A and B are shown apart, each in its own frame.
Chain A
Amino acid sequence: MNNQPLNLLWLQSGGCGGCTLSLLNADCRNLFDTLKSLGINLLWHPSLSEQSADEVTAIFEDCANGATRLDILCLEGSVLKGPFGSGGFHRRAGSISMMSMIERLARVAQHTVAVGSCAAFGGVTAAGINPADACGMQFDGDAQGGLLGDEYRAAAGLPVVNIAGCPTHPNWVIETLVAIAQGELYEDNLDVFRRPRLFADHLVHHGCKRNEFYEFKASACKPSDLGCLMEHMGCKGTQVHADCNIRLWNGEGSCTRGGYACIACTEPGFEEPGHPFGVTPKIAGIPIGLPTDMPKAWFVALAALSKSATPKRVKDNAVADHQVVTPANKRTRLK
């Protein structure tokens, strides 16, 4: 590990600030001390640092002209290219567009990190008619390119690291930053959408509390039902890359634990699924989005079989908001 702490500059543009707020939920003794003890110096963050106004402009300038070493550039929020490619939907001091500032700083940064699906892929800001012409730093939806172009590599050699998520889990961010600070993040550690595999090698389905309902295709039919959310309620957890049900959120939470569908917020283009978020699209009664790595014929056969074998407890609880039948107690010792 490098002895000198790495300078981290955090920028926000076309987003909601939710990834920062999520980061503040980090389950650690104190986020600032944690970063410091792991070799990261928070040069400036828009929500957390003291410096304002001209002091900030000076920090940006020093980074851009090399007076201050910029080790890690984090962007939260999408790049706003509009109107007409001017970047005018987000300007500083009446003239400089944030788009040009991001580009300038990315050219000198040792590492460039997109925090959240907006900065990575465009995200929610790029939904609908994409009024602000939003895109990600190195992706536009699932197409490579974005603001910086496919060829872009940060000075240390990596492409933009996409910590996707809407919002990101605090520990995805901290662990990625630590891996960078330790000099242990390589291209092999990123998946096809350049998401750190430390969270992207899992599916949201892994560890889902509703797994027994999934096994028997005992499905929720309305909001607050306990059953599996895949068949009717729009859940994509069996296809989406993230470990939300393994590491959990805000203590003991996750989307599916909260009673609602995984809407694929770590995936590029999640903001325009082509169907209402809360409804599973189907053809002939079969969900279009089948579990990852599962052949369709097998899924259909297994679903039919498991539905016919669903225990009454599972069937009844699936359409209630609390357990109406509790698991039976066996009288003999469990074998």
Chain B
Amino acid sequence: MTRRIIGPFNRVEGDLEVTLDIESGRVRAAYVNSPMYRGFEQILAGKHPLDAMTFVPRICGICSVAQSAAAALALAQCMGIQPPPNGRLAANMTLAAENLADHLSHFYLFFMPDFARDGYRDRAWFADAQSRFKAVSGSAAADVLPVRAKFMNVMGYLAGRWPHTLSVQPGGSTRALEEAEKLRLKILLAEFRGFLEQALFGDKLESVAALDSEAALYKWMKPRAKRADFPRFLNIARDLELQHIGRATDRFISYGAYADGDTTVFPRGLWADDRVLALDLGAIREDVTSSWMAGDVALAPEEGRTLPQPDKEDAYSWCKAPRLSGHVVETGALARQMVAGHPLVRDMVGRHGASVMARVVARMLELALVLPVMETWLRQFLPGDAYCLPSHEIENARGIGLVEAARGGLGHWLDVRDGKIYNYQVIAPTTWNFSPRDAEGEPGALEQALVGLEAEEGGNAAPLAVQHVVRSFDPCMVCTVH
């Protein structure tokens, strides 16, 4: 058996290293290390509760609004207030814009360039993939960057700027839309739809959203495999059999996305044992056995502590290990759509379990599902109605804020005492997915997903299959440790 350290891993947001034990040409065990610690939870202690709105978006430049939204919900719960309808719509619009932009960036900038690597030069699709998806120089990057930048002008109207806005507040949004601006937003959404339908899908969003089985997906892909990017990916993925790699535990959680009163566009729940169950938040614990953190027992997040212990023996990551009723779970677009019951992802996971391919399909599906919802929200803003309720001081209260970032469920647990933040705990999506081993020795989701992959014992390059599996989770490492 040989041990290889693979890192620094790029085209993941932030820093990542993976240690692989390789035996007989396959990965026998994987150890995922989040190698950077900043200490936001320690920074927040003692601050004025509303100052969280300044600090938490800066946990992460790519999930910035998701962090703001989670903090706003936790603070609103402490204050006992709920945003008026316009405020809720603005919050949903900004979060959805960030999530869709992230899905697009991940696909084009972070994930697809690996298929343009020299290791695939013998494949029939290589020349096409290389001219389209090569990092930095491919034609897709040139197409998508200005489209993404233009789409993010949605944030200019709704949030002042992105990343790191302060428009998202416990009471709603600080930015009321003028009537003329709704028209400009409508134009921005229409332009984005145009790009998705022409370049990404080669079809109407509604037709993509209606795909209901793996067979239907492959049939749909065939005539488009050379003229649109998602079908290009499917063609490659089928050739490389990416539906067979990257399976973790097939337990999925979603906190529920885009609240509308008591309902959500995508529901909250746990997928386990082939069905949707209620998500018991009280069953979440953060284990620190393999983390460079002090502590012996796994604590509930509302009681959680973040005390670095850099010299801790047998620890190998700054990431804690969240578990649900002791189980490793996966979160992300695939989890969201499994819980929501989209027939295409249910069919794919039913056949093969979670996989690199299913994770990418779920993200692309969400581009097709969510943009039409944004178009609907835009029509629902009520002229003249309030966007924001005033915040008020919090003396002693606890609040929880749960949202879905692009890459999965994000939770903030806030404890205010004597008017100051006493404890602030964050569990980010990639904290779940890229957690290290727990007290039982059970590896985290990515650690399990890497086992069994082909890998040479010698050589220096990171095996391509390993790279696909790692990036299929759309990891955000700066959020992971925070």
Contact = CB atoms under 8 A, between A and B. Distances in A.
Interface of A: 12-22, 24-33, 42, 44-57, 80, 83, 86, 88-94, 98, 124-125, 127-132, 134, 166-167, 222-224, 248-261, 263, 265, 276-278, 321-322
A24 B157 contact: no
B82 interface: no
B17 A253 contact: no
B169 interface: yes
A148 to B, nearest CB: 20
A321 B150 CA distance: 26
A12 B13 CA distance: 10
B10 A49 contact: yes
Given A52-B6, A124-B43, 13 more contacts: A17-B13, A17-B60, A21-B163, A25-B152, A30-B146, A49-B11, A53-B462, A90-B35, A132-B37, A222-B390, A249-B156, A249-B160, A257-B160
A50 B136 contact: yes
Interface string B240-258: 0000000000000000000
A322 B105 CA distance: 34
B43 A129 contact: yes
B36 A90 contact: yes
A127 B105 CA distance: 30
B478 A17 contact: yes
Contacts of B388: 222-224, 321
B384 interface: yes
Contact of A89 (B37, B134, B135, B391): B37
A46 B10 contact: yes
7 contacts: A17-B13, A29-B146, A124-B43, A223-B172, A248-B156, A251-B156, A322-B176
A24 B145 contact: yes
A94 B466 CA distance: 19
B64, B166, B167, B460 — most chain A CB neighbours (10 Å): B166
A98 B53 CA distance: 29
Q: Is the interface of A mostly helix, strand, loop or mixed?
A: loop
8 A-B pairs closest in CB distance? A258-B160, A18-B61, A131-B39, A259-B174, A253-B156, A251-B153, A250-B156, A249-B161
Given A16-B60, A223-B388, A258 B166 contact: yes
Contact of B113 (A29, A44, A50): A50
Contacts of A51: 10
A276 B141 contact: no
A32 B387 contact: no
B166 A49 contact: no
B317 to A, nearest CB: 11
A125 B481 CA distance: 13
Contact of A27 (B36, B149, B165, B172): B149
A250 B162 contact: yes
A166 B57 CA distance: 10
A56 B10 contact: yes
Contacts of A17: 13-14, 60-62, 478
Contacts of B162: 21-22, 25, 249-250
B8 interface: yes
B137 interface: yes
A28 B149 CA distance: 9
A321 B176 contact: yes
A49 B137 CA distance: 10
B9 A131 contact: no
B51 A24 contact: no
A32 B9 CA distance: 21
Nearest to A250: B156
B164 A166 contact: yes
A16 B6 CA distance: 22
Given A132-B37, A223-B169, A224-B175, A16 B8 contact: no
B322 interface: no
A53 B461 contact: yes
A16 B35 CA distance: 14
A136 to B, nearest CB: 14
Nearest to B170: A223
Given A17-B62, A89-B38, A28 B153 contact: no
